[in-house]
Amino acid sequence: MAREKVKDPADLSVEEKLKNLYELQKLLTEIDKIKTLRGELPLEVQDLEDEIEGLATRAEKITAEVAELKREINQRNGDIEVNNSNIERFKTQMDSVRNNREYDTLSKQIEYAELDNVLNEKKIAEAKALVESKVSEITRCNLLANDRRADLEVKRGELEEIIAETKADEDKLRERAKNLELTIEPRLLGAFKRIRRNSRNGLGVVYVQRDACGGCFNKIPPQRQLDIRMRKKIIVCEYCGRIMVDPELAGVELMGKEDKPKRRRSARKKAEEGTED
């Protein structure tokens, strides 16, 4: 018993390798069925989480922009106060000018300060309008995020309920699959997983059904079917690339044998009855 447990997977016969692969496929198919029960809920939960995170990031960015706009408003208000103070000082100085040149210079400085105030007031008005718009945008983001959080709680509740119902079975299947993977050589296991990833239905190993591949349903030549039944080498479908096993190894050969002969006998019987008539 101990020797069998530590047996190198590479030393297994092709038949044993195929059996292990098919058993692993059955376990993974059961896990896939459990995942199917969850439907689109995991994706919906992830989408909602991403959307909420995006809204929060957007709200933070806009909040930073509002703070910057308010700093700009405060700075321009400060500039206006400085300009007003200078204007008062220049006007006082104009009362004691000694010539026209000094008077013109002070007049130009007053005019410049007044124009600068007009510009600052215009920029302040624009900034305040922008702040109001951005505050509204923050409110909208927060309200939308709250709605999405409510949706997320509902979706999470549904998902957790389904997971709770299936977790025990899934954990058992995953444990069995993990142990079974240890009996398969890494190269073959890697190829099997790659085939599963490229397959829409997650089937990496299929059995022959009605002389065709059980994955893509393309016909398999008789000689190739014989090679599959011999179990002397790993054979993949030349159309879809899935690993193929014979129905007997998959445990369904008897069902296949019963179906075809019944139809043939029925056809012969009808032909004989027709001849007699």
Domain extent, residue 151, equals 39-180
- The per-residue pLDDT for 260 is 45
Out of 155, 180, 205, a domain closes at: 180
Out of 163, 180, 197, a domain closes at: 180
- The per-residue pLDDT for 162 is 82
- The per-residue pLDDT for 274 is 54
pLDDT digits (tens, 9 = 90+) for 77-107: 999 999 999 999 999 998 888 889 989 999 9
Contact 160, 105 (CB under 8 A): no
- The per-residue pLDDT for 3 is 42
SS3 240: coil
Q: Which residues of 239-274 are buried (b: 16+ CB within 10 A; e: fewer)?
A: ebbbbbbbbebbeeeeebeeeeeeeeeeeeeeeeee
SS3 184: coil
115 and 155 share one domain: yes
257 and 172 share one domain: no
Q: Report residue 251 as tokens.
A: 């445990």
- The per-residue pLDDT for 258 is 41
Out of 153, 180, 207, a domain closes at: 180
- The per-residue pLDDT for 139 is 95
Angstrom distance (rounded) from CA 219 to CA 208: 9
Contact 247, 29 (CB under 8 A): no
Could you tell me which residues are beta bridge partners of residue 243?
Answer: 205, 236
Angstrom distance (rounded) from CA 148 to CA 45: 10
Question: Which residues of the chain are modeled with pLDDT < 50?
Answer: 1-4, 254-263, 275, 277
151 and 112 share one domain: yes
C-alpha to C-alpha distances, 175 to 24, 35, 181, 182, 220, nearest whole angstrom: 11, 16, 10, 11, 35
240 is a domain residue:
yes
pLDDT digits (tens, 9 = 90+) for 173-187: 999 999 989 888 899
55 is a domain residue:
yes
Q: What is the CATH number of the domain that holds 224?
A: 1.10.287.1490
- The per-residue pLDDT for 6 is 53
C-alpha to C-alpha distances, 56 to 33, 117, 151, nearest whole angstrom: 36, 37, 16
Max Cα-Cα span within the chain: 143
Q: Helical H runs in the chain?
A: 2-5, 14-38, 41-94, 100-181, 186-198, 222-230, 247-250, 253-276
Q: What is the CATH number of the domain that holds 71?
A: 1.10.287
Q: In what order do the strands lie in the sheet with 205-207?
A: 205-207, 243-245, 235-236
- The per-residue pLDDT for 269 is 53
Determine which helix (DSSP H) or strand (DSSP E) holds 243, and give its type and residue range: strand 243-245
Angstrom distance (rounded) from CA 256 to CA 262: 10
Contact 227, 233 (CB under 8 A): yes
